[in-house]
């Protein structure tokens, strides 16, 4: 949860309900899997990307990379700040 | 009740509103995550509770809908067909009432006010919809009893699978019951639905006619 806060610069604030709803969906689509746990009393569960999840992540990153490249080719980005040059 | 549930008794109680399977899978993790968030010195407690309180109702509704959808996939097909047909049969009634509520006296000026049409959309269709869905529910209860030895009431109480058929049955019977009063109410108010509160006056009106 702290990681999500940090990565989104505090813009994305999830509660436990939304977080586990997302985890459930990712598990159902086989993008992540639960790591085996040794102690039954341990409440914390850990998840990792599956091969399908990794492929999907790569595809998403490629898509964003292509979008950024296109924006740079069209000279839409300010190279110094990495933000849009103009707004509507 | 274990240690962490005792720490958050209200939150723990609210988790019961989630579907049982979801709660079993993620309930304890949610409690642990909440505890971790509250124990994090960088997080303000009020902010954690506020986002948890805002998040909870939406999450519960979403999961209830999701699990109901999953359960509906195991609903017998004849019940789904009955519900589908029933819903279409009730549609004219609700559509006409809604349109009429926007445009007063619109109904009386259309052919829908003709007795034959009235009998169709306000009596026949709802009654058929209710009968169809009641029959599907009874068939399901009968089959469950015969094949799986499940008591009929228990089968009907399985709302995740039966809710749609039950809603249409109750709605159909409800509309038909209102329709029984239709002529008498119309006699006084000119509106079949809006006022049902004065049966003596309506009876008197009918006797006068």
Rounded Cα distance, A50 and A48, in Å? 6
Return the pLDDT at B86: 93
Q: How far is A34 from chain B (nearest CA, A)?
A: 11
Task: Reply yes or no on whether the pLDDT at A62 is more than 90.
Answer: yes
Mean pLDDT throughout A10-31? 89
Q: How far is A67 from chain B (nearest CA, A)?
A: 32
**Contact flag B36-A15 (C-beta cutoff 8 Å):** no
Say how many CA atoms lie within 13 Å of B53 toward its Cβ. Answer: 7
Are B65 and B82 found together in one domain?
Answer: no
Rounded Cα distance, B200 and B209, in Å? 14
Return the pLDDT at A20: 93
Q: Is B198 helix (H, G, I), strand (E, B) or coil?
A: coil
Are A19 and A36 found together in one domain?
Answer: yes
Domain span at B112 = 77-208
Residues of chain B with C-beta less than 8 angstroms from the C-beta of A18: 55, 58-59
Rounded Cα distance, B169 and B128, in Å? 9
Q: Is A34 helix (H, G, I), strand (E, B) or coil?
A: strand
Are B34 and B15 found together in one domain?
Answer: yes
Long-range contacts of B9-13 (CB under 8 A, 24+ apart): B11/B52
B43–chain A Cβ distance below 8 A for any pair: yes
Mean pLDDT throughout A27-55? 87
A34, β-bridge pairs: A47
Are B163 and B129 found together in one domain?
Answer: yes
A vs B: CB pairs below 8 A? 57
Of B32, B42, B43, the CB nearest to A43: B32
How many domains in chain A?
2
- Return the exposure string of B109-144: e unless at least 16 CB atoms fall within 10 Å of the residue's CB, then b: eeebbeeeebeebbbebbbbbbbbbbebbeebbeeb
How many domains in chain B?
2
Domain span at A88 = 51-88
pTM: 0.55
Of B25, B32, B59, the CB nearest to A17: B59
Are A77 and A65 found together in one domain?
Answer: yes
B5–chain A Cβ distance below 8 A for any pair: no
Segments of chain B with pLDDT less than 70: 1, 104, 180-209
């Amino acid at each position: 949860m702290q990681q999500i806060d940090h990565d989104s610069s505090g813009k994305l604030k999830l509660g436990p309900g939304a977080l586990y709803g997302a985890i459930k969906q990712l598990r159902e689509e086989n993008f992540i899997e639960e790591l085996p746990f040794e102690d039954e009393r341990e409440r914390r569960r850990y998840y990792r990307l599956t091969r399908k999840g990794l492929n999907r992540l790569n595809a998403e990153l490629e898509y964003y990379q292509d979008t950024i490249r296109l924006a740079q080719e069209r000279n839409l980005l300010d190279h110094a700040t990495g933000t849009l040059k103009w707004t509507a | 009740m274990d240690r962490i549930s005792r720490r958050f008794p209200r939150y723990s109680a609210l988790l019961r509103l989630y579907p049982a399977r979801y709660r079993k899978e993620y309930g304890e993790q949610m409690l642990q995550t909440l505890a971790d968030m509250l124990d994090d010195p960088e997080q303000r407690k009020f902010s954690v509770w506020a986002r948890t309180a805002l998040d909870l109702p939406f999450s519960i509704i979403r999961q209830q809908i999701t699990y109901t959808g999953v359960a509906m996939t195991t609903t017998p097909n004849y019940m789904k067909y009955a519900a589908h047909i029933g819903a279409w049969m009730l549609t004219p009634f609700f559509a006409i009432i809604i349109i009429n509520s926007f445009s007063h006296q619109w109904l009386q000026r259309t052919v829908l006010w003709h007795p034959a049409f009235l009998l169709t959309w306000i009596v026949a269709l709802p009654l058929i919809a209710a009968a169809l869905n009641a029959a599907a529910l009874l068939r399901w209860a009968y089959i469950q009893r015969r094949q799986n030895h499940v008591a009929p009431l228990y089968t009907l109480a399985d709302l995740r699978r039966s809710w749609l058929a039950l809603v249409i049955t109750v709605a159909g019977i409800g509309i038909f019951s209102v329709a029984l009063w239709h002529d008498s109410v119309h006699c006084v108010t000119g509106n079949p639905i809006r006022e049902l509160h004065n049966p003596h006056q309506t009876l008197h009106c009918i006797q006068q006619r």
